[in-house]
Chains A and B, each alone.
Chain A
């Protein structure tokens, strides 16, 4: 291994919470293996490199870039394009880059209403002049610029071509290490566009809860509304769990913590929409034949979009709420 040149690794965050970067740090002792095999050439959260350092790199200089975070503003987009150009392999790392993630929930609003809420209406804001962020602002000393906030949140692959997706909110660190070590060892890579670090099968396969064919929903419950026995499939207790429609690979972390799956690992390969299959499955389970009964049961499902597309609105077929 010593003879091999070290891999050049970059980690970048777009619209993200930072959790993905922490998941990279979570490699713990494996960090030594990673550092033995790779040089970190860019990682704003941890190392002091500047954008100009990246701009100065020759094309395809970086072997692997882990891009986490969604594309929410012009900075995210410019960096996505720059890193695409400079990287051999661009990995959409984590739910936000993969499917829009939690920032993607903002696609239920438009820019104007988001600004109004955040900069004018929010309870802790005093903004008597109604000043809103401007990408460009002239002051006596010169021109100030900040990135332009877009109307929509986009996934990484809606901006630049992506080689692989490593899903999760955040991705399970072990999966990252597996993928990384596979690259280091020169193993054959899956075809571009593949999801790596997640299973083909959905979560139920690795979930320890008891499952039966008794998937009949008479009432939909929020998790806190039931006395969870800790053993029975959430769906069989009337709690919406996205496990059946979400790739495995996370080790059923949420379920082990007695919380149903929220779908951060995204849909399996056959689904062209991240939420539709689970909506269909769940609706099928409803135990009612009359429209009124069905509606009554669905009353307890206040937010279908936030339930079935919590991490994936920008990657869904509809992409966003239609606001015209």
Chain B
């Protein structure tokens, strides 16, 4: 059977979550591998959540926020951007492929784009294969 990755997505309430809802109301189909966690702002996404997702067995983590300049809370998405870049650097150093963590800006009107991002990411992660993090951590326990 083909490998079905599990991807955890953190979406900000005002842009990206609404964009994902719009994909629904527009009946745009995308891969079922994504599991969404709603936060009010991408600025709420603590690196801890991303690392925790990986250790719990997520094969990929997607963070979506409002486009730069459009943050509902002014600048939360910039904070997210900075953390994302540091996190990518860290996970790469820890032997996790950086493609497994993705940050995208999705506005409330970009349902189609959200669906495309999900499909694309599912493809990328499928090609990478299952994440090794959970297995490695489990053998250690």
Q: A-side interface residues toward B, CB under 8 Å?
A: 108, 152, 154, 158, 271-273, 276-277, 279-280, 282-284, 286, 288-289, 291, 294-295, 298, 301, 303-305, 308, 316-324
Contact = CB atoms under 8 A, between A and B. Distances in A.
Interface string B77-90: 01101110111011
B93 A304 contact: yes
Given A158-B140, A318-B51, 15 more contacts: A271-B48, A272-B48, A272-B52, A273-B51, A276-B47, A276-B51, A279-B47, A280-B47, A283-B87, A298-B89, A301-B86, A304-B86, A319-B137, A322-B133, A324-B136
B94 A321 contact: yes
A324 B132 CA distance: 8
B46 A277 contact: yes
B68 interface: yes
Contact of B82 (A284, A317, A321, A322): A284
A280 B48 CA distance: 9
B96 interface: yes
Contacts of B133: 318, 322
A294 B94 contact: no
8 cross-chain pairs, A with B, having the tightest CB-CB distances, nearest first: A322-B95, A304-B90, A283-B82, A276-B48, A283-B83, A276-B47, A317-B51, A283-B86
Interface in B51-89: 51-52, 54-55, 68, 78-79, 81-83, 85-87, 89
Interface of B: 46-48, 51-52, 54-55, 68, 78-79, 81-83, 85-87, 89-91, 93-96, 132-133, 136-137, 140-141
Given A298-B85, A317-B55, A289 B95 contact: no
The winner among B51, B86, B87 for most chain A CB atoms within 10 A is B86
Contacts of A288: 82
Contacts of A305: 90, 93-94
Contact of B46 (A154, A276, A322): A276
A305 B51 CA distance: 13
13 contacts: A158-B140, A271-B48, A273-B48, A273-B51, A279-B90, A295-B85, A298-B86, A298-B89, A301-B89, A308-B90, A318-B96, A320-B136, A322-B136
